[in-house]
Amino acid sequence: MVTNPKGLFYFKINFNQIKIYIMTALKNKIKRIQSIVSSIENAQSSLLETQFLTVNEDAVADSELLILQINAEENEFLFI
């Protein structure tokens, strides 16, 4: 706080310091948002990869079951 010649108190505001403070705060917020977005993208990628592997495993299991059914039908045919 500073007094003027009339003895009144007032605050001396340094707008450059305020501007620097605001810019720094904004940069930090942007970095935090980028970090959150990156985490979400990584989670999505990981989830898609897991889903793909699960679908792949299901497809293999289904095809193995189909092969077993075909083999069983062929064996039945051979025994008839």
pLDDT tops 60 at residue 78: no
State residue 46's pLDDT score.
Answer: 77
Which amino acid is residue 71, in one-letter code? N
Rg of the chain over CA atoms, in angstroms? 35
Check residue 18 and give its pLDDT: 84
Alpha-carbon span 48 to 72, nearest angstrom: 36
Sequence-distant (6+) residues with CB within 8 A of 2 are: 9, 10, 11, 12
Mean pLDDT of 48-54: 70
Calculate the alpha carbon distances from 24 to 2, 4, 6, 11 in Å.
27, 32, 37, 23
Confidence at residue 80, expressed as pLDDT on a 0 to 100 scale:
47
Please tell me the pTM assigned to this model.
0.47
pLDDT digits (tens, 9 = 90+) for 2-44: 566 666 665 677 788 888 888 988 898 898 888 888 888 888 7
